[in-house]
Amino acid sequence: MLYQVFRPFRLLHRFLVDKKYPQGAYIAERYRVIRKLGSGSYGTTYLCVDSIQQKTCTVKQLRRSRQGRKKYFRMFQQEYKLLSELKHPSIPSASSFFHTDDGYFFVMDFVSGENLEQHIFDTKKQYYEKEALALTIDVAQVVDYLHTRRIYHGDIRIPNVMLAAGHASLIDFGLAKQFSGPKSLEEQSRLEQDLFDLGDILLYLLYTTFEKTTKKALPWTEELTLSPACKHVLERLLGIQEPFPSVSETIDALRKTKEAAD
């Protein structure tokens, strides 16, 4: 009840405090805003032109309404640190962290293309089993790169998968976390969450070919016509059967299933 009472005031506070940069405005007198790309729980991203290097980039701002809470500032710093250390063609690299009167920012590569959600909505693309498996493998390979460094994304969703020429990139590392030292229950939980998210992406892709013929809601195991191997992989990813112990073993299973569909 208290949450429902105070939520409108929090939303009003965010609206009044969080500065939004219009098209043509400059951030730190250097980055000219082309357009706003999106907003998350603690950050807002803009597509910009770096007036010094004369190239497009993405500038992420920590919302001013979040700057008073150490939790969000730590998450913002951690996201920058991770992206500045990762070197992968399918992950945007961060290049600088700075502060102005409007708050904290960092700069990262701009990932071209459109997110998977937009792509499917705009093009009405249908992913049959073989294509769905191929794209899921593409995403899983990026996740495997992270997991070998004990980094877990924590938010692998279709809006965070970018497509360019059919190739997948992974963005939005705001919830990502890197572990060190002995393995913990939290790390295992993070691993299982990333695996579940991969299964959720595969299931979403497979549903692009589904045409509902009845009003009755049925489980995906009854609505979709899948090969036994694909169904088995999905059930393991979604935790219905024994989960995969790693992303690398998931990729092996996905590849075998795809080869069987050839």
Confidence of residue 69 (pLDDT cuts 50, 70, 90): confident
- Statement to judge: residues 226 and 152 lie in one domain: yes
**Is residue 173 pLDDT above 80, yes or no?**
yes
Q: What residues does 167 pair with on adjacent strands?
A: 164
How high is the pLDDT of residue 166?
79
Of 109, 138, 155, 194, catalytic:
155
Residue 12 has pLDDT above 60, yes or no: no
Is the residue at 3 inside a domain?
no
Are 125 and 71 in the same domain?
no
According to the model, what pLDDT value does residue 212 have? Answer: 80
Number of domains in the chain: 2
Does the pLDDT at position 43 exceed 80?
Answer: yes
pLDDT confidence of residue 16: 52
Which of 88, 108, 128 is the C-terminal boundary of a domain? 108
Question: What CATH number corresponds to the domain at position 160?
Answer: 1.10.510.10
pLDDT (0 to 100) of residue 156: 97
pLDDT for 31 equals: 98
> What are 66's two structure tokens?
């979040």
Phi-psi region of 29 (alpha: psi -120 to 50; beta: other; left: phi over 0): left
- For residue 5, being part of any structural domain is answered with no
Q: 83 and 161 in one domain? A: no
Confidence of residue 6 (pLDDT cuts 50, 70, 90): very low
Q: Is the pLDDT of residue 18 over 70?
A: no
For 71, the domain range is 15-108
pLDDT tops 50 at residue 221: yes
Q: Which residue, of 80, 108, 136, is where some domain finishes?
A: 108
Please give the mean pLDDT across all residues of the chain: 90
Tell whether 119 and 164 lie within a shared domain. yes
82 and 164 co-located in one domain: no
In-domain check, residue 2: no
**127 and 246 both lie in a single domain:** yes
Q: Are 219 and 234 in contact (CB under 8 A)?
A: no
169 & 255 share domain: yes
In a domain, 19, yes or no: yes
Task: Look at residue 182 and tell me if it is in a domain.
Answer: yes
User: For position 218, what pLDDT does the model report?
Assistant: 85
Query: Which tokens go with 229?
Result: 């191997």
Given a cut of 90, is residue 262 above it in pLDDT? no
Is residue 9 in some structural domain? no
Share of the chain above pLDDT 70, in %: 92
Lowest mean pLDDT among 69-73, 109-113, 171-175: 69-73
Mean pLDDT of all residues in 19-42: 91
Is 40 a domain residue?
A: yes
Cβ–Cβ under 8 Å, residues 138 and 254 = no
More confident of the two residues 67 and 75: 75
Do both 199 and 227 map to the same domain?
yes
Q: Are 92 and 220 found together in one domain?
A: no
DSSP string over the chain: -HHHHHHHHHHHHHHHHS--PPTT-EETTTEEEEEEEEE-SSEEEEEEEETTTTEEEEEEEE-GGGTT-HHHHHHHHHHHHHHHH---TTSPPEEEEEEETTEEEEEE----SEEHHHHHHHH-----HHHHHHHHHHHHHHHHHHHTTTEE-S---GGGEEEETTEEEE---TT-EE--SS--HHHHHHHHHHHHHHHHHHHHHHHTT-----SS---HHHHS---HHHHHHHHHHTTSSPPPS-HHHHHHHHHHHHHHH-
208 and 172 in a common domain: yes
Are 187 and 88 found together in one domain? Answer: no
DSSP 181-207: SS--HHHHHHHHHHHHHHHHHHHHHHH
Region 111-121: mean pLDDT is: 92
CA–CA gap between residue 58 and residue 76 (Å, rounded): 15
Q: Which residue has the higher pLDDT, 143 or 164?
A: 143
Q: Look at residue 179 in the predicted model and tell me its pLDDT.
A: 97
Query: Is residue 42 included in any domain, yes or no?
Result: yes
> pTM of the predicted model, to two decimals?
0.89
Mean pLDDT, residues 203-221? 89
Query: Which CATH number belongs to the domain containing residue 59 in this structure?
Result: 3.30.200.20
Query: Is pLDDT above 90 for 165?
Result: no
Share of the chain above pLDDT 90, in %: 78
Q: What is the pLDDT of residues 197-210, one digit of tens each?
A: 999 999 999 999 99
256 and 176 co-located in one domain: yes
Pairing of strands 161-164, 26-27: unpaired
155 is catalytic: yes
Looking at residue 19, what is its pLDDT?
A: 74
Does the pLDDT at position 25 exceed 70? Answer: yes
Q: Identify the domain boundary among 59, 75, 108.
A: 108
